[in-house]
Structure 1
Amino acid sequence: MATQKLRGNDLRKIGYPEGRATTLALDILEDRQLKNLDKGSALALLQKIKADPYAYLRDSLWRELAKEFVPDPSRDVSLSPDVKDYRRYGEAFIEDGARKQMDTAMKLPVTLDGALMPDAHQGYGLPIGGVLAVDNAVIPYGVGMDIGCRMALSVFPLPPRYLEQRTQELKKLLHNHTRFGAKEVFKNPTHDPILDRPEFREIPVVKGKREAAINQLGSSGSGNHFVEWGVVDITTEDNELGVPIGQYLGLLSHSGSRGLGAAIAQHYTKVAMQKCPLPPEARYLAWLDLASQEGQEYWRAMNLAGDYASACHHDIHRRLSLALGEKPLAKVENHHNFAWKETLPDGREAIVHRKGATPAGQGVLGVIPGSMTAPGFIVRGRGEQDSIQSASHGAGRRLSRTQAKQQVSEGELRRLLRDQGIELIGGGLDEAPQAYKDIHQVMAHQQDLVDVLGSFRPRIVRMDAGGGGKSKYGGE
């Protein structure tokens, strides 16, 4: 039966929103009258209902679906006609799409303040690099899919020459003690106390992901996630790390909450969109009132996912530290794709969303990475209020993944890695350094936001290889 091949993704491609409309459409197509309808005809019919729902309101079969597309002024939440003022850092090289998304976010009736970081680029709902403070509400897509994604750096008491002397050994350690993507997991994952948290028993969507969370503990995601050895250069004596000025072997990881965070984001975004209908351009900014049951449930789930992401990094660094046979001198960890309860300068309590933005409160330490051929920076926040005490979370993309694959050749990437002395295990053209903005320009636009304490320059990088584990570009 042809219609059985239809999936929610097919409907989303013709403009159906996630949630009740998609569920209704798929359910109705199971009616015996429609069993023999082929896929193309079914999609054409669903497009007609969406385009002209009034024509189907008297049709007993399609009435409930048609109602989903009839505007309901009593339900829809209106945006303000005016864009609240917000600060933009490095505006000259922030793409129009990111700026327009942030403008839309600044029209929400719950919005109190906002800022756009210099690494900003277009995403879903809130742009990556967007910081949004709202009143007693949380926006699941303002947090994002990879809840609590973070950076973690370990500084070891070994000199940089260790990288040249033990290159093959360090590559082998990454192979043996890291896992990437959807298919790679440890045969005997660590049992962390995070897995005993009550949220896994009390929140249905979280409960359904506990087994996956057990298996994925200590692993990293795909895309721009990595674990890499490199050179840490501490340049500031008063660095709050307790590490003297000099160069050291460093281990840097970037990853998030894996399937757990994605499931939470998808579920509560659907809930928010059903409870808070917004105009099409703002629909992914739907929020949950923190006074509601759903809002409180999401808040607990979000914090669990953030803590789970941290536990994964701790396991990565623990495994590699043990394999290396060295204890780190210092560690730095910071996260983004999260929401915090904070107090604004005028005394108002706010929920501050940092989607791809780093907390940069007074004295707060963090790491802002560049790319696999560009340095990252160890920073200390300056507590700048105009940026809502935030900074960039990286260099930021200047090419989408599709554009990078189209514009960068394998030969170009191979030559660049060789010239820069980078060993890459895994990875692909979508993560080529050419796809990213100049990290030095990004840092120049946030001098008021952070102080630089040192840098990290990658040398041996491991990323997801799409399941193959081998690199075309110079690694194993």
Structure 2
Amino acid sequence: MSAQSAPVRLIPTGEATAMLPTATTKPITVIGTQAIRETFDEVCLQQAINSMQAPGVTDVILNPDAHLGYGAPVGCVMISPTHIYPGPVGVDIKCSMSLLQLDLPAEAVDDRKTRRALISAICQRTPTGAGKGQRNVTKSRSVNRTLGKQLVVEGASQSVCEQLGIPSEWAEYCEDAFHVGHDESQSALEARLDVLLEQRHMSNFSDKMSQLGSYGGGNHFGECEVVSVDDSNLAREVADVFGLRDNHVAFLSHCGSRGFGHNLASGQFKTLQAKFDRWGIPLPGRDRELVYAPLGTSEANDYLDDMALGANFATVNHLMINALVLEAFQEVIPGTTGRLVYFISHNIAKKEIVDSQPAWVHRKGATRAYPAGHHALRGTPFANSGHPILLPGNPRDGSAVMVADAGASKSRFSVNHGAGRVLGRRQAKRTLNQSTIDSELDQHDILSNCRQYPMDEAPAAYKDFEEVLRSVKTANLASEVARLKARFVIKDSSKADD
């Protein structure tokens, strides 16, 4: 994969910043303290270099959570005004975070029986695991083919929300409630969907639509939280704008575009790789996952349309999950109300203004971070505060809600999407102890739907969350608004129970 043989060296530029030199282009911006920088292995750094040296790329930023990914590292930002890259979006198009604030005080979930009842009620509505969908749960919502075609084209439109029982006002609290095609129209998506539905890899379209309102597997989760707002005046003011309630219950979700997005991304990789092979085009770093398409070509247009279709599914998937979670809470604790705090992506490419010019900002395991006053927030509820940044850590150490600072300009208005893996999945299963994992969560009074918590998702498989947050704050990218303490976790229990 590497075009360079010499060891990769990071050059510190501050307590929580560094640069990664390349042979032929400008250096890569690195965010992370010394302790965090030591978690970047040679393959991760070489992927960053390959990405920076790829055609049309003007910037690469490596975030504290960075680790091995598809072509580009997970936890990076890659910018190009001329090319689009599927790898730095990945196979889970618009994998995202969302946070639902409930009106329940923290003590409402103190009782373990209540939490067990909530876990059961949620799992009766939101299935977990590969291939699982609404037909696998007893209190499902029907998503037929016609509605599926509508929602992947329209995203969270009022009509789609009404048909799925999603509060239509929640669309206002999405980073993007809908996505359009390569020519900025919905008609391009309608035309592209018609083409896709004739292709073999989309023969299971109806089945994939039935996965709406489900979590999937891997690192996806739903987590019941207690909100603890930071004690500073600024944090309290921002928390009020966000709708966060101190010492109250909230629900954090991590999921994406499920099997539909995977089908779209896999199809694009195969198509582009076949063309690179046929035309003999050199691959950046000889990495087949760094295929690309110049903007304006039919290949780029097809990818942008496919990405938008997958992103629209992911948006509605999250909103439906939140509606189902609220319904579950209302079943167990009648009278519960809730509102969406925010829904924000960390696997997407978006056209933004970079250095006064339009460019495609690829965020792979990276989260947008616009501070107060940013032009893109005009007309939104967060114009004067900056939008919420949702950073999952792990159940033991908690998660965080942050808001961008002016210093986020140095990272092209992006931050990490979480803690980031420090152990690969196989390594975690080889080296970690199941009883230790389960007893640790029990000691913290954290329940789960799994008889045994997945070893490859254990807190010890991830980087030190406090050090990750310290990197973000020390680099002046964002400030902490609130911490989220887990009370129970919904994960893919299928593998854990094998």
Indicate the TM-score class for this superposition, using the shorter chain for normalisation: 0.7 to 0.9
Normalising by structure 1, we get a TM-score of 0.77
Quickly say closer, same or farther: Cα 1:224–1:116, change in 2 above 3 A.
same
For residues 25 and 108 of structure 2, the distance between their equivalents in structure 1, rounded to whole angstroms, comes to 53
1:133 maps onto 2:133 in alignment: no
How far the C-alpha of 1:330 sits from its partner, in A, is: 4.3
Aligned twin of 2:282: 278
For residues 297 and 85 of structure 1, the distance between their equivalents in structure 2, rounded to whole angstroms, comes to 31
SS in 2 for 1:133: strand
For residues 115 and 245 of structure 2, the distance between their equivalents in structure 1, rounded to whole angstroms, comes to 24
How far the C-alpha of 1:273 sits from its partner, in A, is: 2.4
Q: Which of these residues, 299, 311, 324, is aligned with residue 319 of structure 1?
A: 324
How far the C-alpha of 1:245 sits from its partner, in A, is: 5.6
8 Å CA contact retained: 1:152, 1:331:
yes
Question: Superposition pairs for residues 148-187 of structure 1, below 5 Å?
Answer: 148-165=94-111, 166-187=114-135
Aligned twin of 1:118: 64
How far the C-alpha of 1:208 sits from its partner, in A, is: 3.4
1:195 maps onto 2:149 in alignment: yes
Question: Superposition pairs for residues 22-101 of structure 1, below 5 Å?
Answer: 81-90=23-32, 91-101=37-47
SS in 2 for 1:268: helix
8 Å CA contact retained: 1:201, 1:207:
no
For residues 266 and 483 of structure 2, the distance between their equivalents in structure 1, rounded to whole angstroms, comes to 36
Q: 1:430-462 CA deviation, whole Å, 9 max, x = no partner?
A: 111110001110011111111211121111101
How far the C-alpha of 1:331 sits from its partner, in A, is: 1.8
Q: Which amino acid aligns with 2:210?
A: N
How far the C-alpha of 1:463 sits from its partner, in A, is: 0.6
1:332 maps onto 2:342 in alignment: yes
1:303 maps onto 2:308 in alignment: yes
SS in 2 for 1:265: helix
Q: Which amino acid aligns with 1:128?
A: V
Higher relative contact order (CA closer than 8 Å, sequence separation 6+): 2
How far the C-alpha of 1:290 sits from its partner, in A, is: 2.1
8 Å CA contact retained: 1:84, 1:107:
no
For residues 106 and 184 of structure 1, the distance between their equivalents in structure 2, rounded to whole angstroms, comes to 38
For residues 87 and 316 of structure 2, the distance between their equivalents in structure 1, rounded to whole angstroms, comes to 23
Range that drifts further, 329-338 or 105-114: 329-338
Q: Which of these residues, 482, 489, 492, is aligned with residue 454 of structure 1?
A: 482
1:400 maps onto 2:401 in alignment: no
Range that drifts further, 415-424 or 203-212: 203-212
Normalising by structure 2, we get a TM-score of 0.74
How far the C-alpha of 1:182 sits from its partner, in A, is: 2.2
Aligned twin of 1:45: none
Q: How many residues align?
A: 391
8 Å CA contact retained: 1:163, 1:170:
no
Q: Which of these residues, 218, 224, 227, is aligned with residue 232 of structure 1?
A: 227
8 Å CA contact retained: 1:154, 1:252:
yes
Quickly say closer, same or farther: Cα 1:146–1:267, change in 2 above 3 A.
same
Query: Which blocks of at least 5 consecutive residues in structure 1 are unaligned?
Result: 1-14, 16-79, 472-476
For residues 263 and 360 of structure 2, the distance between their equivalents in structure 1, rounded to whole angstroms, comes to 22
SS in 2 for 1:440: helix
Quickly say closer, same or farther: Cα 1:341–1:399, change in 2 above 3 A.
same
8 Å CA contact retained: 2:428, 2:456:
yes
8 Å CA contact retained: 2:216, 2:258:
yes
1:367 maps onto 2:390 in alignment: yes
SS in 2 for 1:105: helix
Quickly say closer, same or farther: Cα 1:135–1:436, change in 2 above 3 A.
same
8 Å CA contact retained: 1:101, 1:125:
yes
Quickly say closer, same or farther: Cα 1:242–1:357, change in 2 above 3 A.
closer
Aligned twin of 1:77: none
Q: Which amino acid aligns with 1:369?
A: P
Aligned twin of 1:431: 457
Aligned twin of 2:163: none
Q: 1:243-295 CA deviation, whole Å, 9 max, x = no partner?
A: 36621111111011011111111111122223443345333111012201121
Quickly say closer, same or farther: Cα 1:209–1:378, change in 2 above 3 A.
farther
SS in 2 for 1:361: coil
For residues 254 and 349 of structure 1, the distance between their equivalents in structure 2, rounded to whole angstroms, comes to 29
8 Å CA contact retained: 2:202, 2:263:
no
Aligned twin of 2:4: none
How far the C-alpha of 1:108 sits from its partner, in A, is: 1.3
Quickly say closer, same or farther: Cα 1:175–1:207, change in 2 above 3 A.
closer
Q: Which amino acid aligns with 2:71?
A: G
Quick check: which has more Rg, 1 or 2? 1
8 Å CA contact retained: 1:148, 1:257:
yes
For residues 307 and 421 of structure 1, the distance between their equivalents in structure 2, rounded to whole angstroms, comes to 36
8 Å CA contact retained: 1:83, 1:104:
no
Range that drifts further, 120-129 or 189-198: 189-198
For residues 242 and 369 of structure 1, the distance between their equivalents in structure 2, rounded to whole angstroms, comes to 17
Range that drifts further, 424-433 or 235-244: 235-244
How far the C-alpha of 1:159 sits from its partner, in A, is: 0.8
8 Å CA contact retained: 1:124, 1:284:
yes
Range that drifts further, 139-148 or 289-298: 289-298
Range that drifts further, 196-205 or 280-289: 196-205
For residues 417 and 105 of structure 1, the distance between their equivalents in structure 2, rounded to whole angstroms, comes to 38
Q: Which of these residues, 206, 211, 214, is aligned with residue 211 of structure 1?
A: 206
Aligned twin of 2:377: none
For residues 270 and 191 of structure 1, the distance between their equivalents in structure 2, rounded to whole angstroms, comes to 29
Aligned twin of 2:294: 289
For residues 101 and 372 of structure 1, the distance between their equivalents in structure 2, rounded to whole angstroms, comes to 30
For residues 436 and 115 of structure 1, the distance between their equivalents in structure 2, rounded to whole angstroms, comes to 20
Q: Which of these residues, 315, 338, 342, is aligned with residue 352 of structure 2?
A: 342
For residues 207 and 124 of structure 1, the distance between their equivalents in structure 2, rounded to whole angstroms, comes to 23
How far the C-alpha of 1:313 sits from its partner, in A, is: 1.2
Quickly say closer, same or farther: Cα 1:190–1:248, change in 2 above 3 A.
farther
How far the C-alpha of 1:329 sits from its partner, in A, is: 4.1
Aligned twin of 1:142: 88
How far the C-alpha of 1:373 sits from its partner, in A, is: 1.4
8 Å CA contact retained: 1:105, 1:282:
no
8 Å CA contact retained: 2:403, 2:479:
yes
Aligned twin of 1:102: 48
Q: Which amino acid aligns with 1:278?
A: P
